[in-house]
Chains A and B, each alone.
Chain A
Amino acid sequence: MSETGIGARLVRKEDHRFITGKGRYTDDINLPGQAFAYFVRSPHAHAEIKKIDTKAAAKAPGVLCVLTGDDAAKDGVGGLICGWMIHSKDGSPMKAGPHPVLAQGKVRHVGDQVAVVVARTRDQAKAAAALVNVTYKPLDAVADPAKAQKRGAPKVHDVAANNTVFEWEIGNKDATEAAFSKAAHVTKLQLVNNRLAPNAMEPRAAIGSYDAGEDHFTLYTTSQNPHVARLVISAFIGIAPEHKLRVIAPDVGGGFGSKIFIYAEEVVCLWASKRAGGVPVKWVAERSESFLTDAHGRDHVTTAELATDANGKVTGLRVKTIANMGSYLSTFASSVPTYLYATLLSGQYNIPNIYAEVDAVYTNTTPVDAYRGAGRPEATYVVERLMETAARELGMDPAEFRRKNFITQFPHQTPVIMCYDAGDYGASLDKALELIDYAGFAKRKAAAAKKGKLRGIGFSNYIEACGIAPSAAVGSLGAGVGLWESAEVRVNPVGTVEILTGSHSHGQGHETTFAQLVSERLGISTEQVSIVHGDTDKVQFGMGTYGSRSGAVGMTAISKALDKIEAKAKKVAAHVMEASESDVEFKNGSFSVKGTDKKMAFGEVALAAYVAHKFPTSEVEPGLKEGAFHDPTNFTFPAGCHICELEVDAETGVTEVVDWVAVDDFGNIINPMIVEGQVHGGIAQGVGQALTEGVVYDDGGQLLTGSYMDYCMPRADNLPPLRLDFTKTECPSNPLGIKGCGEAGAIAAPAALMNALTDALGVKDVPMPASPQTVWKAMAHLREAAE
């Protein structure tokens, strides 16, 4: 291993710039003559727009233009799309209502954008926006997904009867019914997976800039996938053809999925720039706009049942989920509660029969889409809450019940599409049990009881599917795009290297890990490598970063391009050293000729390739630059075991997480420090979901958690020191043997915590977030017993 190669615990190269305030985020960019956009948003969850009077706003100081949905329609600005087609059980396509960039005729959630004011300054735009007079006719609203399909519920979109977007199914219904009819025991849970607001540290922002001379647009935006943004804004929204639109996603301060999607505001900035005569138009979300408009996550209502036989073997799983899509279908919304969710319902277990139904519904709430884990946390929550509950009901040890049902032979085809390629679930369970000192738990519980604390322990043996995904496979399931990745390796004449990648880094540390791969392969230091990403003019194409795919897919593309670089460099080296190509070896950054002492450093070969003096350019082209596209052959399957121990204050209901052990199998690890950071962050978000976070709407669709005064993010004091360890089975489907780690913590954590909490309280279920009040209510039975 090179000192800065694969496996090195390298400090992140990008952090110096971030922590010294030298990052360059969208709001740090100011174009000459730039104007500002401010959006007029709906105060109603559901209303008809009777009239929009923009006269006073248009005359206000500094105002360049005021635009409404009618203007968008007149200018042919297309609507936002959902890029994954899901078909219902009856074969009918999903019912996607129109999603204009500015509301047309109706608003469907609080915060829906109704008009935009563009003015010379931010304050002028905001002041003028207050003068736009919108006449609404308020309509009844529905916010609760469980009520959306009920008779008489307000209709969000004309196209969707009963607010139903689709009624989808997966698995084998008849075989599953049969398994349940023969079951010795059935465990049933009603679960709500709470709605979360993504809360990236950097709010969304955009600058749209139209160059009339070139008839060309540039968009600076907070995107996880600038190329997909360009594709959608070109091909579907019709702002400009792709060669006339450049999308730049500079430093991006966190996304967690919420910056995958193509939103209205970014599109409006481009369009408004042209309408305002080529003045660049900037918009930066206020935090309250982030709460109202960044796509939320989760929001499932589920009934789940697990069938077991007399020997404690799981024989079947039956799930019915209502998934809240919000008021419009966001870019990848439909894929999340279907192929990213129900395909993981087998968990780590050999479950012969699975049947799941998912109804996706419209409500008068902010759209819901992928959020860290996207479908997989919901699946893990269902499976792991069921496994823990079943073990308790059967009187079995939850660890042993799981072990009895683990998949141990690979590859393993589940009944829900996924074919697991490698794993050792028993190994991570064993290690985690040892780390937590499982045998000592009873003592710790007794000690806690003496302090008036209820102590509980809970497991989460999660699995997830990363590295999304084989293009043909996702295409057959309805995806509108392929999910490969591209890379280009440019070796400069002096031997330094630029990697152009379609993967986007917004906190993941690609500038470090990708450079480590190059360092490993070419034997040069990471200091000699730069990673170029996030600009459609620099990188030819890419599918972006989400679903923990940048390592398994993005780095594999780089690896393939590096193969080509090595092959080409060998040819050059062979000519320069006057040897046969087959005798040239490349090792530790140096080319040598077998059986001789002839040697050339990588940089010397690079220079030779560019000066092109010593090889026939009719046979070998000058230069050293190669590209590759990589389409994965399978998902990757990170898995592991998290164990949470917590104590509940019996008087107040306050839950304190006192210990956390995570043993993950991510295959090969490029940079352990970055991987640990990802796990820490993921667990923090998962603990947030379980203990503190939850978007709350009232029955009328008003957002009650629209600021940090009411939306409770997890804080440092919600977390104990996290104890991490790893097991390893290499991923067979990529040459690096890596699986992905970005979402694991967020996927595993909620189930581990809620299993521990229900253990502590001796109850079947507690809703998330388990706020002190919620836990206090769940302890009513203990108070009654005491009285």
Chain B
Amino acid sequence: MENFEYHRPSKLADAVKLIKAKKDGKLMSGGMTLIPTMKQGLATPSDIIDLGGLKNTGVKVTKTKVTIMAGTTHAEVANDKDLKKAIPALAALAGRIGDPHVRHCGTIGGSVANADPAADYPAALIALNAKVVTDSRTIEAEKFFKGLFETALRTNEIIKQIEFEIPARAAYSKFPNPASRYAMVGVFVADFGKKGVRVGVTGAKGSAYREKAMEKALSADFSADALAGVKVKADDMNSDIHGSAEYRAHLVGVMAKRAVAAAK
């Protein structure tokens, strides 16, 4: 690992100032991706601005909305009592990210900003029609994830919080990569009643996306059987030694069915 300057501001404004001032600065939240990348020499930032000092954590639940502050760890999300009642599927998703070490360091803001194509949260953000609130604006989840590790965030923009709509019922079904246990395919299904069903898929493509044909079928009939006729296209799906595009497309179908069956 190369040398770098370490900063731990306690105010968001200071963090913004620092990241703007440093030439090759990098924002760090939990560091669960950034630090391994730096160890491998794939990232060599001049400065690390650790957002941990902002103490921007916590989950807030209202009647219609769940707000999770960006610095909240996966473990905190997984164990939040109010969230478990409001959107149990989201708490369960957080409880299956990585391993205990990752869950106690990694944060929702870090995960979302990193936009790993195999990360779990993006599927939930898409399905729960979430809004990403930054230091300067609000971005809809669907417009946030642009591609492989690519988001709508501008250079130096910092995520403050993420706001989720509360569905009538939802579930996340994940098919883990056998080796890394990242999502090879993860499908988040959320039923908003009259407002219809949203289906967010991660792991399968360059970035998380909505499976709209499934949404249509499920909005008409929220049952696993309703998905029988929906064909998932393999065209632009990821392909690697663990799963071909065809296999991933097949798994999207299976995981969606299982999510529908498990939704509560």
Contacts and interface: CB of A to CB of B under 8 A. Distances in A.
Contacts of A348: none
A708 B247 contact: no
B112 to A, nearest CB: 21
Contacts of B242: 710, 771, 773
Interface stretch (B81-89, B175-183, B188-196, B210-218): B175-183
Contacts of B98: none
Given A692-B179, A705-B241, A773-B242, 5 more contacts: A696-B241, A704-B241, A708-B180, A773-B244, A776-B247
B250 A776 contact: yes
B180 A709 contact: yes
A652 interface: yes
Contacts of A708: 179-180
A711 B254 contact: no
A466 to B, nearest CB: 32
A705 B254 CA distance: 27
Contacts of A704: 241
The 6 closest A-B pairs by CB, nearest first: A712-B179, A709-B180, A712-B178, A651-B254, A773-B247, A773-B243
Contact of B178 (A651, A772, A776): A772
A710 B241 contact: yes
Nearest to A783: B250
B180 A710 contact: yes
A651 B179 CA distance: 20
Interface residues of A, number: 17
9 contacts: A651-B254, A652-B251, A705-B241, A710-B180, A711-B179, A712-B179, A771-B242, A772-B175, A773-B243
Interface in A751-778: 771-773, 776-777
A349 B45 CA distance: 64
Contacts of B241: 696, 704-705, 710
Contact of B179 (A710, A776, A777): A710
B179 A709 contact: yes
B102 to A, nearest CB: 13
Interface residues of B, number: 12
Contact of A652 (B175, B179, B180, B244): B175
Nearest to A708: B179
Interface of A: 651-652, 692, 696, 704-705, 708-713, 771-773, 776-777
A771 B243 CA distance: 9
A704 B251 CA distance: 23
Contacts of A651: 254
Nearest to B40: A288
A773 B251 CA distance: 10
B228 to A, nearest CB: 12
Interface string B235-258: 000000111100100110010000
Contacts of B179: 692, 708-713
Nearest to A714: B178
Contacts of B180: 708-710
A127 to B, nearest CB: 8
Nearest to A718: B178
A40 to B, nearest CB: 14
Nearest to A691: B178
Contacts of B254: 651-652
A692 B175 contact: no
A712 B181 CA distance: 10
A713 B180 CA distance: 10
A776 B180 CA distance: 19
A144 B242 CA distance: 19
A773 B175 CA distance: 11
A635 B175 CA distance: 47
A771 B178 contact: yes
A705 B241 CA distance: 9
Contacts of A692: 178-179
Contacts of B251: 652
A479 to B, nearest CB: 38
Nearest to A696: B241
Contacts of A712: 178-179
Nearest to A652: B254
A771 B179 CA distance: 10
Contacts of A777: 247
A696 B251 CA distance: 23
A327 B247 CA distance: 34
A731 B254 CA distance: 53
Nearest to B185: A652
User: By CB atoms of chain A within 10 A, which of B175, B179, B250, B251 has the most?
Assistant: B179
B251 to A, nearest CB: 7
User: By CB atoms of chain A within 10 A, which of B175, B247, B254 has the most?
Assistant: B247
A696 B241 CA distance: 8
Nearest to B247: A773
A692 B241 CA distance: 12
Contacts of B250: 776
Contacts of A773: 242-244, 247
B192 to A, nearest CB: 27
A711 B242 CA distance: 10
Interface string B146-184: 000000000000000000000000000001001110000
B182 to A, nearest CB: 8
A651 B241 CA distance: 19
Contacts of A709: 179-180
A712 B179 CA distance: 4
A708 B179 CA distance: 6
A240 to B, nearest CB: 36
